[in-house]
Amino acid sequence: MDEELLNEFLTESNENLASIEQQLMDLEENPADMDLLDSIFRVVHTVKGSCGFLGLVGLQKTAHAGENLLGKIRSSKFLVDDKIVSLLLECTDGIKALLEGLESEGVEPDLDHSDLIEQLYLAERMVEESSNGSKAKSLESVEEVEQNLDWLGDVDESVLTALKDAGLLTAEQMIRAGFATLRNMDALSPADALKVLGVAKQHLKRQASSPDVEHQPQDKTEAEVTEPQAKKEDNVEKAKATPPEIPATPAPIPPAKKATAAVKKVVKSDHKQRPKSAGSIRVDIELLDSLMNQVGELVLTRNRLMQMMASSGNMTYVRVSRDVDHITEQLQAQLLRTRMQPIQSVWSNIPRIVRDMGKQLNKKITVVMEGEETELDRTILNALKDPLTHIIRNSCDHGIEMPDERRNVGKPAEGTLKLSAAQESGFIVILIEDDGAGIDAARVKTKAVTMGVLTEEQAAIISDKAVLQLIFHAGLSTAQTVSNLSGRGVGMDVVRTEIEKVGGSVDISSERGQGTTLRIRIPLTLAIISAMIIGCEGHRFAIPQMSVRELLNAPRDSSEWRLIGGQPFYRLRGKLLPVMRLKEVLEFTKDVINEGSIVVVDIGDRTYGVLVDEIFGAEEIVVKPLGVHFQQTRFYGGCSILGDGVVIPIFDCNELASLMKLSQEAEALQHLEEEEEISMHELQHTLVFAEGGQRFAIPMALIERLECFPEKNIEQAGSSEVLQYRDDVIAVLRWSSLIDVHRDIEADESVYGLILSDGYKYLCLQVEEVIDILEIPLDIKMASDNPLFLGTSVIEGIATEVVDVFEVVKKVDADWFSRNKSTASQEEEISPTILFVEDATFFRNLVIPVLDALGYESWVAKDGLEACSILENKTPDLILTDLEMPNMDGYALVDWVKGRPELSDMPVVALTATPIDEIPLERQRKFRDVMIKFDRQTLNEGLERIMGEIKKNAPVRVEGEVISSAVTEGA
Amino acid sequence: MNALVHVKNKPSRSDLELLTCRVGEQWIGLHVKQVREVVTGHVRTVMPLAPSSVMGLINLRGRVLTELDVRKVVGLPAREPDASFHVAIIESSSGEDFGLAVDDVGEVMLMDRDYYESTPSSLDPVWRQVSEGVLKQDNRVLVLMNVDRFIALTIPSLEGNVQNPAAVH
């Protein structure tokens, strides 16, 4: 036996065992699924067989006991219950523990599983007894074939055939043939070969001790076995050294020890390495951490080098430093990747937790997972493990109701726990949703008041959403009874602390009777974060981008300033934003003028503004810890070193908020209610930029990133200009040339680039100056003759041309949107039709080209009423509708459609600007799907999916002309 | 930044070697094995609301260190804004390195045990807390500073209430 074999064994076993837990749970669901049982049996059997050959006694014992039980279940067609499944799960846990030890130590760990083995044995007896009398009968036809080799136990048919074809009919012959021969047989994987050898070996031993039990097989031919003579001798030698079958007496232990010692020796003499799973190596995480730090330093040094080289004016230097730049970037990116692991690695044990919880609580819970492949930094993953487990336990325990209760309120008896993970611009968002009872905000409030967390006055004005966040407050638990699983009132605060420790945030939303959703937002990696660099009294500070929602320009004379109880507020879209004057809280000065820029910080349960003097822009920074002196000043989350070598403190926005007095905020909340709210209708993020003294607005929908780089980064490629962006070269379009403004730009001058993307393609739109990103209603006051513009809107009192992104993109790539139209056959098909109901011209213009590009024919209605009148005459394949509309809104429309028998099957999809989780679930359910307006990708995919679903029963379509004449006219 | 004093390792005698520094009128001795180097003219980042002893953060070849003002700790008036000073980079037993700002750096000397005395009660109370003993020389008394005790004195939880931040703008 050699290291290679051990490696093979570990790899195979780990792969096999990875799926077994799930399979066992599936078996619990469908105990009659014989295929599933077979497959589980095979895994355990393979492990047992192989370790017999490798001399791994403890492992073999455990696996053997499991195999016996499984074998008995299989042969007697016993229907497993949850107790047996629990036992089998324990058995696989035991096997895994042994394998882990083996992998890390190189020798079998000393673990005592005798209790488990005893239990497995008892279960086996139980199964046997219950099936006595109804002995399973095997299929007659196969009987004969199987006869000769059935001592091999469960191996694939193909393996049996191959062995027979090779004339290897007895255990002796197989051992004589040796591993090499078996392994070279096409039908046998190395693991099969191992298994066959192991079993053969045991079989011989058994025959030796009780020769009368097994009949001697007929010797037919030995012809094929002559070739690899030398090798097989060798193997037989080795096979002899392996221990015999393990009758549970102390007798065979000495040989077993010898064998393990042999394993160790081989390992030591061959290489210094321990056996590992193939294809990857283990690296100490500390090594990676220190590499990461060094690369961080390299990035900083690189920045300095770049500055020096650029100022030297020597082109050779500049070129070399550019190479350094590029390599550093790649090095950094790749090193980050080495630390990434799929979130699956922490999720994998969740089904098991939920199952065990369900059993204990007598609840039925299914787990649904989405986005398991999402990758995260391993440090973060590890930190997430406990909070996740806690949240899951909470959901099972308190969230999901007992089956009877659920049935009474018309929900399926089985509760669902849904986990999903997705990447969202540098962050991972993890949602944990249950469809349980939800949280009673009123109860939380009462509790909070009793516990003194909230005063009566605060309780009177606090919003339900804010109340729910109190769940994370230490000492609050609304569970009526304290179970041994969760609900001791400690926990959610720990969950929050743990998540915040890795730079994440968590918030909770819940609807009575509908369920609870926890939303965890965490950075992809800890080591490097994107931060907004701000200035205050000549000091620079970094605010993690994660917490920054938007930036506002707040001049002294702005009419939006309010002073309530000494606390400044800034009125932002009808809401009062409490503003922390950084100068004041950092005690730079007492007399602060309300003037400067406001960084709007969102920390989950609340939003506040930080008034600063200056905003320098976003930068990727390497986070370094602060020393022992800053333990009390918790609003510093760490520090970093900027490109110029200066240390910069990083704020921890959660802690920073505590510098602002809460009572004032609560007091102010009261006033907030008094402020009349402007309609939040159709607000959208819009970027305003200037070129040649004129202002332009462009919706953020297609803008992936804002870049600022030196003009000289734009390179000439043929007749067009390009920019290196990430690992790609993307086309650069100059806004100035599109609107015929001429401007000379120095090579060293910094220019702004809006990186436009639809997920596959990128384009850089170079503009002169970025003014602001605003969340505003885009009311187009005046249509434009220029196809580049949708029209003119008034933004902050200034007439601003609203750019039609689609026209701009077409300038560069006329086929930008047509990547989905590739097959010729598609042209022959009649294009599916969509009735698109949208009141805002702007969105019509945004969505229609997408629909066109996807090959849909679109009919357009301005509101629900218009849609109804179209539907009375014609039937589209799908209705895509806005929710908020004058005359007749999306909800009324869908009700109308559902009320028409001929349209009852019509899929109606909502397209909305409101975050989906703010729409009540019962309203969402009216629609086939609810999609977010700004997300082109989701729209594309969602429509394609729904169209695919309805294509099967394609309705008879009335031919209709496109009613889209009103496209560019004012809303 | 210039490294003024490169401390060499003389393994046999380093236990007895001291680096002398002046703070106000007081000369102190730091164990050479705890001093990494002495730097001057560093760019420092002032940390608002930090403990009063903290002058700021400095970047020492990619490592961020907390710089502590010895004058402040022992209750001496603040330095003149343009007065020069030196920063001794020291190692504490916790593993964290600190910068100690002192007014002047003298020399590396061998500690003469004959002149070693236990801390006299006449010494200023703050010095007494961090002193391991004194060395009497011709015209001065050198306080042997226990670095760890000094650091402990500067940490807020042990220092008591956080005073006003070191307002160096």
Interface test with B, best of A629, A639, A644, A660 (most B CBs within 10 A): A629
Contacts 24+ apart (CB under 8 A), B128-137: B129/B153, B135/B18, B135/B29, B135/B111
Q: Spell out the residues 6+ positions from residue A272 whose beta carbon is closer than 8 angstroms to its own.
A: none
Same domain, A694 and A791: yes
Arithmetic mean of pLDDT, A215-235: 43
Q: What is the spatial distance between Cα A604 and Cα B116, in angstroms, rounded to a whole number?
A: 61
User: pLDDT value at position B159?
Assistant: 44
Nearest to A492 by CA among A474, A467, A510, A515: A474
Give the CATH number for residue A219. Answer: 1.10.150
Q: Output the CA–CA distances (angstroms, integers) from residue A610 to A191, A265, A539, A604, in the order listed.
A: 63, 64, 15, 16
User: Which burial class, exposed, middle or buried, applies to A795 when counting CB atoms under 10 A from its CB (0-12, 13-18, 19+)?
Assistant: buried
Please count the other Cβ atoms lying within 10 Å of the Cβ belonging to residue A916.
Answer: 12
Q: What is the spatial distance between Cα A942 and Cα A947, in angstroms, rounded to a whole number?
A: 8
Q: What is the dihedral of CA A187, A192, A194, A200, to 10 degrees?
A: -90
Of the partner residues A539, A631, A645, the one whose CB lies closest to the CB of residue B59: A645
User: Which burial class, exposed, middle or buried, applies to A26 when counting CB atoms under 10 A from its CB (0-12, 13-18, 19+)?
Assistant: middle
Residues of B in contact with A301 (CB under 8 A): 62
Interface test with B, best of A300, A621, A628, A631 (most B CBs within 10 A): A628
User: pLDDT value at position A668?
Assistant: 52
Q: What is the spatial distance between Cα A497 and Cα A138, in angstroms, rounded to a whole number?
A: 59
Band (pLDDT 50/70/90 cuts) for residue B155 is confident
Beta strands A878-882 and A703-710, pairing class: unpaired
User: pLDDT value at position A389?
Assistant: 86
Nearest to B63 by CA among A137, A255, A627: A627
Q: Could you tell me which chain A residue has the CA closest to the CA of B45?
A: A647
Q: Could you tell me which chain B residue has the CA closest to the CA of A301?
A: B62
Arithmetic mean of pLDDT, A433-446: 85
Higher pLDDT, A11 or A686: A686
Let me know if residue A270 belongs to a domain. yes
Q: What is the spatial distance between Cα A910 and Cα A890, in angstroms, rounded to a whole number?
A: 7
Q: Say if the Cβ atoms of A645 and B43 lie within 8 Å.
A: yes
For A635, phi and psi rounded to 5 degrees?
-75, -10
Q: Could you tell me which chain B residue has the CA closest to the CA of A622?
A: B62
Q: Spell out the residues 6+ positions from residue A398 whose beta carbon is closer than 8 angstroms to its own.
A: A436, A437, A478, A479, A486, A487
Of the partner residues B48, B56, B156, the one whose CB lies closest to the CB of residue A587: B48
Give the CATH number for residue A2. Answer: 1.20.120.160
Same domain, A514 and A367: yes
pLDDT digits (tens, 9 = 90+) for B67-98: 999 999 888 888 888 888 999 999 888 778 99
pLDDT at A852 over 70: yes
Band (pLDDT 50/70/90 cuts) for residue A126 is confident
User: pLDDT value at position A132?
Assistant: 65
User: pLDDT value at position A711?
Assistant: 85
Arithmetic mean of pLDDT, B12-31: 84
Let me know if residue A675 belongs to a domain. no
Q: What is the spatial distance between Cα A383 and Cα A387, in angstroms, rounded to a whole number?
A: 8
Q: Which two tokens stand for residue A520?
A: 């965890």
Arithmetic mean of pLDDT, B129-142: 86
List the domain boundaries for chain B. 14-157
Q: Output the CA–CA distances (angstroms, integers) from residue A328 to A321, A474, A619, A644, A679, in the order listed.
A: 10, 44, 16, 18, 48
pLDDT digits (tens, 9 = 90+) for A864-875: 888 888 888 888
Q: What is the ipTM score, two decimals?
A: 0.85
Same domain, A61 and A163: no
Q: Say if the Cβ atoms of B157 and A632 lie within 8 Å.
A: yes
- What is the residue whose two structure tokens read 């804002």? A706
Q: What is the spatial distance between Cα A195 and Cα A105, in angstroms, rounded to a whole number?
A: 23
pLDDT at A260 over 60: no
For the ranges A357-371, A533-547, A591-605, A678-692, the maximum mean pLDDT occurs at A533-547
Least confident segment among A156-170, A390-404, A640-654, B151-165: B151-165
What's chain B's average pLDDT?
81
> Terminus-to-terminus CA distance in chain B, angstroms?
20
Handedness of CA A464, A465, A471, A473 (dihedral sign): negative
Of the partner residues B49, B62, B157, the one whose CB lies closest to the CB of residue A300: B62
Q: Say if the Cβ atoms of A641 and B64 lie within 8 Å.
A: yes
pLDDT at A825 over 90: no
Give the CATH number for residue A939. Answer: 3.40.50.2300
Q: What is the spatial distance between Cα A95 and Cα A113, in angstroms, rounded to a whole number?
A: 10
Q: Say if the Cβ atoms of A627 and B66 lie within 8 Å.
A: yes
Arithmetic mean of pLDDT, A671-690: 57
Q: What is the spatial distance between Cα A691 and Cα A611, in angstroms, rounded to a whole number?
A: 28
Handedness of CA A398, A402, A407, A412 (dihedral sign): positive
Of the partner residues A537, A588, A649, the one whose CB lies closest to the CB of residue B47: A649
Q: What is the spatial distance between Cα A169 and Cα B9, in angstroms, rounded to a whole number?
A: 75
Band (pLDDT 50/70/90 cuts) for residue A3 is low
Q: What is the DSSP string of A499-552?
A: HHHTT-EEEEEEETTTEEEEEEEEES-SSEEEEEEEEETTEEEEEEGGGEEEEE
Same domain, A226 and A259: no
Of the partner residues B64, B96, B165, the one whose CB lies closest to the CB of residue A587: B165
Q: Which two tokens stand for residue A662?
A: 């809460």
Same domain, A369 and A451: yes
What's the predicted TM-score (pTM) here? 0.43
Q: Which two tokens stand for residue A605?
A: 């349960």
- Three-state DSSP at A830 gives coil
pLDDT digits (tens, 9 = 90+) for A301-318: 787 787 788 788 788 888
DSSP code, position A281: -
Band (pLDDT 50/70/90 cuts) for residue A600 is very high
**Helix, strand, coil percent content, chain B, rounded in steps of 5:** 20, 40, 45
Same domain, A359 and A486: yes
Q: What is the DSSP string of A10-50?
A: HHHHHHHHHHHHHHHHHHHH-TT-HHHHHHHHHHHHHHHHH
For the ranges A229-238, A487-496, A855-864, B34-43, the maximum mean pLDDT occurs at B34-43
Length of chain A in terms of residues written = 971
Same domain, A210 and A346: no
A239 touches A201 (CB < 8 A): yes
pLDDT at A824 over 50: no
Arithmetic mean of pLDDT, A683-696: 83
DSSP code, position B38: E
User: pLDDT value at position A462?
Assistant: 77
For A20, phi and psi rounded to 5 degrees?
-70, -35
Distance from CA of B158 to the nearest CA of A (A): 10
Q: Which amino acid is at B109?
A: M
Nearest to A854 by CA among A829, A883, A875, A871: A829
pLDDT at A111 over 90: no
Residues of A in contact with B53 (CB under 8 A): 629
Of the partner residues A586, A639, A648, the one whose CB lies closest to the CB of residue B48: A586
Q: Say if the Cβ atoms of B66 and A629 lie within 8 Å.
A: yes
Same domain, A383 and A512: yes
Length of chain B in terms of residues written = 169
User: pLDDT value at position A447?
Assistant: 80
Q: Say if the Cβ atoms of B62 and A641 lie within 8 Å.
A: yes
Q: What is the spatial distance between Cα A554 and Cα A550, in angstroms, rounded to a whole number?
A: 12
- Three-state DSSP at B114 gives helix
pLDDT at A26 over 70: yes
User: pLDDT value at position A233?
Assistant: 44
Q: Say if the Cβ atoms of A632 and B51 lie within 8 Å.
A: yes
Q: What is the spatial distance between Cα A633 and Cα A643, in angstroms, rounded to a whole number?
A: 25
User: Which burial class, exposed, middle or buried, applies to A473 when counting CB atoms under 10 A from its CB (0-12, 13-18, 19+)?
Assistant: middle
Let me know if residue A969 belongs to a domain. no
B14-157: CATH, from 2.40.50.180, 3.90.70.10, 2.60.120.260, 3.40.50.1100: 2.40.50.180
Beta strands A908-912 and A929-932, pairing class: parallel
Q: Could you tell me which chain B residue has the CA closest to the CA of A650?
A: B47
Interface A-B: count of C-beta contacts within 8 A: 77
Which residues is A717 bridged to in the sheet?
A720
Q: What is the spatial distance between Cα A116 and Cα A865, in angstroms, rounded to a whole number?
A: 70
| Number of domains forming the structure of chain A | 7
Distance from CA of A581 to the nearest CA of B (A): 14
User: pLDDT value at position A169?
Assistant: 67
Q: Spell out the residues 6+ positions from residue A557 whose beta carbon is closer than 8 angstroms to its own.
A: none
∠A799-A801-A807 over CA atoms, to 5°?
Answer: 175
Q: Output the CA–CA distances (angstroms, integers) from residue A850 to A63, A858, A890, in the order listed.
A: 57, 10, 21
Least confident segment among A144-158, A229-243, A440-454, A912-926: A229-243
Residues of A in contact with B49 (CB under 8 A): 586-587, 633, 635
A253 touches A57 (CB < 8 A): yes
Q: Which amino acid is at A911?
A: L
pLDDT digits (tens, 9 = 90+) for A447-497: 888 877 777 777 777 777 777 887 787 666 544 444 444 443 446 777 888
Higher pLDDT, A714 or A599: A599
Q: Say if the Cβ atoms of A639 and B64 lie within 8 Å.
A: yes
- Three-state DSSP at A776 gives strand
Please count the other Cβ atoms lying within 10 Å of the Cβ belonging to residue A676.
Answer: 5
Q: What is the spatial distance between Cα A136 and Cα A154, in angstroms, rounded to a whole number?
A: 16
- What is the residue whose two structure tokens read 């930036």? A551
Q: Say if the Cβ atoms of B49 and A645 lie within 8 Å.
A: no
Same domain, A177 and A254: no
What is the helix (H) or strand (E) element at residue A383, kind and residue range?
helix A378-394
Q: Say if the Cβ atoms of A627 and B65 lie within 8 Å.
A: yes
pLDDT at A829 over 70: no
Q: Could you tell me which chain A residue has the CA closest to the CA of B52?
A: A629
Arithmetic mean of pLDDT, A943-951: 74
Beta strands A575-581 and A636-641, pairing class: unpaired
Q: What is the spatial distance between Cα A497 and Cα A674, in angstroms, rounded to a whole number?
A: 35
Q: What is the spatial distance between Cα A696 and Cα A798, in angstroms, rounded to a whole number?
A: 10
pLDDT digits (tens, 9 = 90+) for A918-936: 777 888 888 888 877 666 6
User: pLDDT value at position A276?
Assistant: 40
Give the structural domain span for A187: 149-240
Q: Say if the Cβ atoms of B45 and A646 lie within 8 Å.
A: yes
A525 touches A380 (CB < 8 A): yes
Same domain, A737 and A782: yes
Same domain, A799 and A835: no
User: pLDDT value at position B68?
Assistant: 95
Nearest to A199 by CA among A107, A188, A274: A188
What's chain A's average pLDDT?
75
Same domain, A625 and A725: no
Q: What is the DSSP string of B49-104?
A: T--TTEEEEEEETTEEEEEEEHHHHTTPPPPPTT---EEEEEE-TTS-EEEEEESE
Q: Could you tell me which chain B residue has the CA closest to the CA of A639?
A: B64
Q: Spell out the residues 6+ positions from residue A943 whose beta carbon is closer than 8 angstroms to its own.
A: A834, A851, A854, A856, A878, A880, A909
A294, A313, A338: which is the final residue of a domain? Answer: A338
Least confident segment among A129-143, A782-796, A936-950: A129-143
Angle between helices A805-812 and A841-853 (to 10 degrees): 40
